[in-house]
Amino acid sequence: GESVGLHLPTLSVQEGDNSIINCAYSNSASDYFIWYKQESGKGPQFIIDIRSNMDKRQGQRVTVLLNKTVKHLSLQIAATQPGDSAVYFCAENTYRGTSYGKLTFGQGTILTVHP
């Protein structure tokens, strides 16, 4: 089956820097993408999503960019704070028959923010 993966397993930044977390996907039919944040011992928390008909979407301190040409997704966090330290992973959704509503998840990137 097709999968979603991440370029970098770990990312360390200084407080106040901008962070960029990357994700590569291989299913060109994917219609919808989500970024989640997962703190240690907790369930994943929805951050932001983007549909395949968009290139960019902004939230509070976060921006997701989608490049369908190279099948690449990125999450940008502005002015990174220690509370942003967590595992971040992307997920894709392909609307196709019985796959509706089933997400494929990447393994995750560990973001560590140093004060």
User: Which residues in this chain contact another protein in the complex, by CB under 8 A?
Assistant: 4, 32, 34, 36, 41-46, 49, 89, 91, 93, 98, 101-103, 105-108
CA distances from 112 to 78, 84, 87, 103 (A): 14, 8, 9, 26
CB of 104 to another protein, least distance (A): 8
114 near 13, Cβ under 8 Å? yes
Rounded CA-CA distance 3/1 in Å is 7
CB of 41 to another protein, least distance (A): 8
Q: How many C-beta neighbours within 10 Å does residue 106 have?
A: 23
CB of 14 to another protein, least distance (A): 26
Comparing CB distances to another protein, the nearer of 36 and 86 is 36
CB of 61 to another protein, least distance (A): 19
